[in-house]
Amino acid sequence: MTADGGLPARLRRAVEDDDLGAFYDALEREGRPVVTAQQVARRLDRSQAEAEDLLAGLSDSGSVGSVDVSTDPVVWYPTEWGELATRERVILFPERREIIVDCPTQYTRAQLSQFATLDDTTGEREDGTRGFVYSIRREDIWQSPFEELGTLLASVRSVLPRRSPHLEGWIEDQWTRARQFTLWTHEDGYTVLEAASEDLMGNVARQKLDEEQLHAPISDTEAWVREGAEGEIKRVLYEAGYPVQDDRELDPGDPLDFELHLQLRDYQQDWVQRFVEQQSGVFVGPPGSGKTVAGMAAMAEIGGETLILVPSRELAEQWRDELLAHTTLDEEQVGVYHGGAKEVRPVTVATYQIASMDRHRSLFDSRGWGMILYDEVHHIPSPIYRLSADLQSKARLGLTATPVRGDDRETEIFTLVGPPIGTDWDKLFDAGYVAEPEVEVRLLPWADEESRNVWANAEGRERHQLAATNPRKIEEIRRLRDDHPEAKALIFVDWLKQGHDIAETLGLPFVSGETPHHERRRLFGEFRDGDRRTLIVSRVGDEGIDLPSAELAIVASGLGGSRRQGAQRAGRTMRPTGSALVYVLATRGTSEENFAERQTRHLSEKGVRVRERTVAEDDE
Q: How confident is the model at residue 613, as a pLDDT?
A: 87
**CA 134 → CA 59, 129, 267, distances in Å?**
29, 17, 20
**CA 557 → CA 78, 285, 502, 588, distances in Å?**
42, 25, 12, 13
Tell me, rounded to whole angstroms, the distance of Cα 215 from its chain centroid.
38
pTM, to two decimals:
0.60
One-letter amino acid of 119: D
pLDDT digits (tens, 9 = 90+) for 505-528: 999 999 887 888 788 888 888 888
One-letter amino acid of 466: L
Q: How confident is the model at residue 129, as a pLDDT?
A: 61
User: What order do you get walking across the sheet with 222-225 strand by strand?
Assistant: 214-217, 222-225, 191-195, 181-185, 244-247
As a whole number of angstroms, the distance between CA 533 and CA 520 comes to 15
SS3 20: helix
Q: How confident is the model at residue 118, as a pLDDT?
A: 80
Contacts of 14 (CB under 8 A, 6+ apart): none
Q: How confident is the model at residue 242, as a pLDDT?
A: 93
Burial of 521 (0-12, 13-18, 19+ CB in 10 A): middle
Q: How confident is the model at residue 83, as a pLDDT?
A: 53
Contacts of 3 (CB under 8 A, 6+ apart): none
Contacts of 564 (CB under 8 A, 6+ apart): 378, 401, 402, 404, 405, 406, 602
As a whole number of angstroms, the distance between CA 521 and CA 416 comes to 32
φ/ψ of 293, rounded to 5, equals: -60, -45
Q: How confident is the model at residue 11, as a pLDDT?
A: 38
Name residues of the chain where pLDDT drops below 70: 1-18, 31-33, 67-73, 79-86, 122-130, 340, 358-362, 365-366, 381-390, 392, 402-412, 423-436, 539-550, 558-579, 598-599, 601-608, 617-620
Residue ranges of domains in the chain, CATH in brackets: 9-82 (1.10.10.10), 85-175 (no CATH), 179-246 (no CATH), 266-429 (3.40.50.300), 435-614 (3.40.50.300)
**CA 40 → CA 17, 48, 50, 58, 491, distances in Å?**
16, 8, 10, 13, 46
As a whole number of angstroms, the distance between CA 619 and CA 83 comes to 41
Burial of 617 (0-12, 13-18, 19+ CB in 10 A): exposed
